Structure 1
Amino acid sequence: ARRFQWPLLLVWAAAAGTGSAQGVQTENVTVAEGGVAEITCRLHQYDGSIVVLQNPARQTLFFNGTRALKDERFQLEEFSPRRVRIKLSDARLDDEGGYFCQLYTEDTHHQIATLTVLVAPENPIVEGREQAVEGGEVELSCVVPRSRPPAVLRWYRDRKELRGVDSRQENGKVWSVASTVRFQVDRKDDGGIVTCEAQNAALPPGHSKQTQYVLDVQYSPTARIHASQAVVREGDTLVLTCAVTGNPRPGQIRWSRGNESLPERAEAVAETLTLPGLTSLDNGTYTCEAGNKHGQARAPYVLVVYDPGAVVEAQTSVPYAIVGGILALLVFLIICVLVGMVWCSVRQKGSYLTHEASGLDEQGEAREAFLNGGDGHKRKEEFFI
């Protein structure tokens, strides 16, 4: 049998013999790899003649409705005077090509239905080219080894699209597609997520294949000491915790006290330092140190142990000071009230004397008017004294 390679894009067509009006009509089919495809032959004025369906290798699949090729993936779904329909399950790239639908009468009629198999991309493979370090750049690659048509790759970081550099290579009927992206990183980017997304026509609309990459950014350590209590008195137990960050995380934390050794009672275990039964002899600056290959970090803590008696005395002296202040304020207010009362009394007495003098003047004028009552044309005036 001869092998034929047919184009992937076909249109509806019909063929008819020279001496007959009978004919056959087919249509193209597109299916995703692994999917189900239906191949249909439409018959016009079928008179019971022989109908043969063949695969792209010109092997007969069905002869007048009878199976001829032992491939269970092909099933005859319909055989009628108007239509012959077969179903192909688990479609493969090897199944792609032209399927012949032939009607044998006085003249042979045939049409070809071309089956196109698309390949959906698998989940992209994302890798980092080198170790990311704070202040440097990271380069990521995204690869889809099989797709048809070639997959379109996109990068996303914090919901923002990144511009990548794409490349593709054809391997037989499928394509290998790759994309790379570069960007600068800082310590805050450690643990961030970068996504590579792949799409092509083999996937349902709105669907894509995605792979997330978690950034691993290395940076120098930091250290900070947290105390179990703010005020420390003699006899208390103090626990200091050294909070350390860094990538890679420092493997060992060292405790020290200035130029002196740690108290014999001190217990240093990893990031914690426990100081039981404190006395004033434990005063000093305690330091925790941590490091990795990118640097060192130190954190100090100044310990001051207070005498309980001094603290109590200082606390009890506060109420007496408050009482003394209140008494002084009351005395000041009483003095102010007394001064105000004296001032008001003096002011009222002066006003009385002034009015009394004024009354005497008026009384003299009245007496004079009484004695001179008949003088001139003035009428007599009476005054009440």
Structure 2
Amino acid sequence: MHECLPASLLKCFADAFFRLVAFTAPPTVRIIHSGLACNIEEERYSERVYTIREGETLELTCLVTGHPRPQIRWTKTAGSASDRFQDSSVFNETLRIANIQRHQGGRYYCKAENGLGSPAIKSIRVDVYYLDDPVVTVHQSIGESKEQFYYERTVFLRCVANSNPPVRYSWRRGQEVLLQGSDKGVEIYEPFFTQGETKILKLKNLRPQDYANYSCIASVRNVCNISDKMVSFRLSNKTASPSIKLLVDDPIVVNPGEAITLACVTTGGEPLPTLTWVRSVGALPEKTVLKGGTLTIPTISSDDAGTYSCIANNNVGNPAKKSINIIVR
């Protein structure tokens, strides 16, 4: 058929075809990040990893080429748009997450497609670094020696801190750094089932010098400029787990609209325990008034019926718990 067309028209069709070919291209994509990544010299990654401190702003930019202009979509874990970043960012070149939190770490994908060939996909793994305040809990055991008629008192101080990367712990007694083997009365170890998540200081057969101030220092080696954190505990011959009692009889039977007050007091524990109230099912009623160990519901309703518990905790031994049932007629 083309033999019937004027030469000029054939040339026009040819030019248009070559222009179409010359100015169309499948998409390509690469990901860059703004800001400085945290450098960890002792780590070596074979994949692209962007490390960032919790609370900072993450910005990832997807640089694309292709004609027609490719459409961009960000996803987290291949397949679906993440619900952890704003929808307005999902289809932009730049993905921005302000005040990033630890659960937002993971692999992010940028997908570009323009209908030519297969979509272009690149990914980068975001590692969020953090260090929570350490917590020391204390447990005691008493063993009887029948031959010598005395009691051995052994104390375990357990230090725990959530972190990424893994935390390293150190212990001090006063200003003295405690190391495994430096004191025959002290043993420092990690329970095999915790995989480095905790560090236990065992004081065997307590001596007078063991009653002192102990500090646990949690460190992530200053990565991402995260400073060490410390918690202290004063061990004395009065250190004891909490005990409590309720100043009301169980159960309490009330009419709708009446006010009720539940009182809980400590009867023991060193250091002084903190008291909290909880409900067995759901949260405390919104109208609840809490003051120390006292819980007041000004106008009770049938929805407020149930079991309420007072819990005392001082990080020594197990928390103490007392419960009471409220029946609304």
TM range (shorter): 0.3 to 0.5
Q: Which has the higher helix share?
A: 1
Q: TM-score, normalization: structure 2?
A: 0.44
Higher-RCO chain (CA-CA 8 Å, sequence separation at least 6): 2
Q: TM-score, normalization: structure 1?
A: 0.39
Larger Rg: 1
